[in-house]
């Protein structure tokens, strides 16, 4: 009867969040259950409960479409980062190879359907060749599964005040929160990476966080604080890279090896280097984050890492924490932590 057996999918291509927290999840499989939301071809629909108090989720796009963009079949977010297609593609410089127009797309997906046995196909989605972009994505990505996404949808009757189901209503009785601009999403646009409000917002925020490479007012600061060094980056690599922007006074790597100070002889050189490293520079294969150093340029710091915003870690000689003035003595600092000259944990 069914000449088209459909895809022989045994298990859907899903992200951690969509699958849920239950290791014993039960799933129904319905061969040729629905049309794919992107390519409109029938495919095997899987349906499961991603945890207690969640709504039932099902696969929305077919495995072919999912593989072509390396996304989850339900939420259409990247499998590796959990980020929208538009965000990932712009960060990694991936050109969309899936045609968007009706006929072209149908032809393309039909042609590639059989030959995709490895997720991702020919395109490289993890960005190993673009460490800067990849580092950026790793920063924006969530650190753990986000199960809030699996909650039941908001009861539209409740919003109007007309929900007659009351207590047994399976939908959420809450008012819609969040920016209404972000609510206007369309699965096909999200899949191809066009016009995705969430992606746009993410990229804007990431861009802003990189921007505090604005020069500090203190003109004597000529040092840059560099984070993200791995084992591979040696002092020489840093010297070679930054010497191109101006003469270096010194390069000091922290004993832990995760960050370094690059001190320039001239302020102009420092600024040039900072500008060039705006999006994140790559030295010795490692993607680095560059920020302005604090007004004590020399010496390594005992603290590792720090935020990506304009402040580097304390640049003083690590070790003895200075006992801060008693609270209220100077009048300016109420708490030890407010004292800007305090070093280390008190």
Task: Determine if 220 is a binding residue for other proteins (CB under 8 A).
Answer: no
Pairing of strands 57-58, 286-292: unpaired
For residue 58, the minimal CB distance to other proteins (Å) is 12
User: CB under 8 A: which stretch of 11-19, 46-54, 97-105, 186-194 binds other proteins?
Assistant: 46-54
Nearest to other proteins of 47, 200 (CB atom): 47
For residue 290, the minimal CB distance to other proteins (Å) is 50
Q: Which of 11, 22, 25, 28 binds other proteins (CB under 8 A)?
A: 28
Beta strand residue intervals within the chain, DSSP E: 27-35, 42-48, 57-58, 223-227, 248-253, 259-264, 281-283, 286-292
Nearest to other proteins of 49, 272 (CB atom): 49
* Residues 77 and 47 sit within 8 Å (Cβ to Cβ): no
Distance (Å, whole) CA 117 – CA 94? 21
Distance (Å, whole) CA 170 – CA 52? 12
Task: Determine if 167 is a binding residue for other proteins (CB under 8 A).
Answer: yes
Task: Determine if 156 is a binding residue for other proteins (CB under 8 A).
Answer: no
Q: Which of 24, 118, 148, 164 binds other proteins (CB under 8 A)?
A: 164
For residue 171, the minimal CB distance to other proteins (Å) is 13
Using CB under 8 A, count the residues that bind other proteins: 9
| Angle at CA of residue 300, ends 296 and 305, nearest 5° | 100
For residue 26, the minimal CB distance to other proteins (Å) is 5
For residue 173, the minimal CB distance to other proteins (Å) is 13
Listing DSSP states for 330-342 in one string gives: SSS-SSGGG-TT-
Nearest to 220 by CA among 266, 173, 152: 266
Task: Determine if 23 is a binding residue for other proteins (CB under 8 A).
Answer: no
User: CB under 8 A: which stretch of 12-20, 164-172, 185-193, 251-259 binds other proteins?
Assistant: 164-172
Name residue, tokens 């800067």: 132
Give the number of other Cβ atoms within 10 Å of residue 206's Cβ: 18
Tell me the backbone φ, ψ of residue 253, rounded to 5 degrees.
-100, 140
In DSSP terms, which residues pair with 127 in a beta bridge? none
Nearest to 88 by CA among 14, 141, 155, 160: 141
Nearest to other proteins of 95, 168 (CB atom): 168
Name residue, tokens 């490692």: 286
Task: Determine if 53 is a binding residue for other proteins (CB under 8 A).
Answer: yes
Q: Which of 10, 95, 168, 218 binds other proteins (CB under 8 A)?
A: 168
Task: Determine if 26 is a binding residue for other proteins (CB under 8 A).
Answer: yes
Residues that bind other proteins (CB under 8 A): 26, 28, 47, 52-53, 164-165, 167-168
């Amino acid at each position: 009867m069914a000449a088209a057996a459909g895809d022989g999918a045994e298990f859907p291509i899903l992200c951690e969040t969509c699958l849920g927290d239950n290791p014993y999840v039960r799933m129904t499989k319905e061969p040729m259950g629905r049309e794919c939301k992107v390519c409109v071809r029938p495919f095997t629909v899987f349906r499961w409960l991603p945890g207690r108090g969640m709504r039932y989720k099902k696969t929305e796009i077919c495995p072919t479409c999912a593989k072509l963009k390396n996304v989850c079949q339900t939420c259409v977010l990247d499998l590796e980062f959990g980020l929208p297609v538009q965000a990932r593609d712009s960060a990694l410089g991936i050109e969309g190879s899936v045609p968007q127009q009706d006929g072209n797309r149908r032809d393309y997906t039909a042609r590639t359907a059989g030959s995709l046995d490895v997720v991702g196909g020919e395109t490289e989605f993890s960005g190993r060749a673009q460490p800067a972009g990849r580092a950026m994505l790793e920063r924006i990505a969530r650190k753990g599964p986000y199960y809030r996404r699996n909650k039941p949808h908001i009861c539209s009757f409740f919003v109007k005040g007309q929900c007659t189901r009351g207590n047994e209503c399976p939908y959420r009785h809450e008012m819609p929160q969040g920016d209404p601009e972000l609510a206007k999403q369309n699965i096909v646009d999200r899949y191809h990476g066009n016009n995705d409000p969430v992606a746009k917002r993410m990229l804007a925020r990431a861009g802003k966080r990189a921007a505090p490479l604005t020069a500090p007012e203190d003109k004597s600061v000529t040092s840059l604080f560099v984070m993200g060094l791995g084992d591979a980056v040696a002092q020489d690599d840093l010297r070679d890279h930054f010497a191109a922007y101006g003469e270096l006074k010194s390069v000091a790597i922290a004993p832990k090896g995760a960050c370094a100070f690059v001190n320039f002889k001239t302020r102009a050189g420092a600024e040039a280097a900072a500008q060039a490293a705006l999006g994140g520079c790559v030295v010795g294969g490692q993607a680095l984050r560059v920020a302005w150093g604090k007004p004590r340029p020399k010496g390594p710091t005992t603290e590792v890492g720090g935020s990506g915003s304009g402040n580097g870690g304390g640049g003083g000689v690590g070790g003895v924490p200075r006992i801060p003035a008693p609270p209220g003595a100077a009048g300016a600092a109420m708490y030890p932590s407010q004292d800007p000259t305090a070093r280390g944990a008190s």
